[in-house]
Structure 1
Amino acid sequence: MRRAVALVAGLALAGSAQAAQKLGEAQAQRSPEQVYSAVCGYCHGKNVGPVIRGRGLPAEAVEYQVRHGQNAMPAFRPTEITPAELKALAAWIQTSAADPKEHGQ
Structure 2
Amino acid sequence: MQNTTTVPSRHLPSRTLGALALFGALLLPPVAANASDAREPDEVYRQVCAHCHAPQYEVGPEITIAFPEAAWEARGNYIRNTVRHGRAAMPAFRTAKISDAELDGLIQALVSGELDDAPAATGEE
For the aligned pair, the TM-score class normalised by the smaller chain equals: 0.5 to 0.7
Q: Match for residue 50 of structure 2?
A: 41
Amino acid at match of 2:88: N
Report the CA distance between 1:27 and its aligned residue.
8.4
Cα offsets for 1:30-69 (capped at 9, x unmatched): 0000000000001002211010111426111111110011
- The match for 1:89 among 88, 98, 106 is 106
- The match for 2:76 among 59, 66, 72 is 59
1:93/1:33 Cα in 2 relative to 1: closer, same or farther (>3 Å)? same
| 1:32 is aligned to 2:49 | no
Report the CA distance between 1:79 and its aligned residue.
0.7
TM-score of the superposed pair, with normalisation by structure 1 = 0.66
Cα offsets for 1:70-105 (capped at 9, x unmatched): 110000000110001001101110011544576xxx
Contact 2:76 2:108 in 1 (8 A): yes
1:29/1:70 Cα in 2 relative to 1: closer, same or farther (>3 Å)? same
Contact 2:66 2:111 in 1 (8 A): yes
Contact 1:55 1:94 in 2 (8 A): yes
- Aligned length, in residue pairs: 81
Report the CA distance between 1:24 and its aligned residue.
2.0
TM-score of the superposed pair, with normalisation by structure 2 = 0.56
In structure 2, C-alpha distance between the alignment counterparts of 1:44 and 1:25, rounded to whole Å? 27
Amino acid at match of 2:76: A
Q: Percent identity?
A: 36
Work out which of the two has the higher radius of gyration on C-alpha atoms and give 1 or 2: 2
Report the CA distance between 1:25 and its aligned residue.
2.3
Unaligned regions of 5+ residues in structure 2, if any? 1-30
Unaligned regions of 5+ residues in structure 1, if any? 1-21
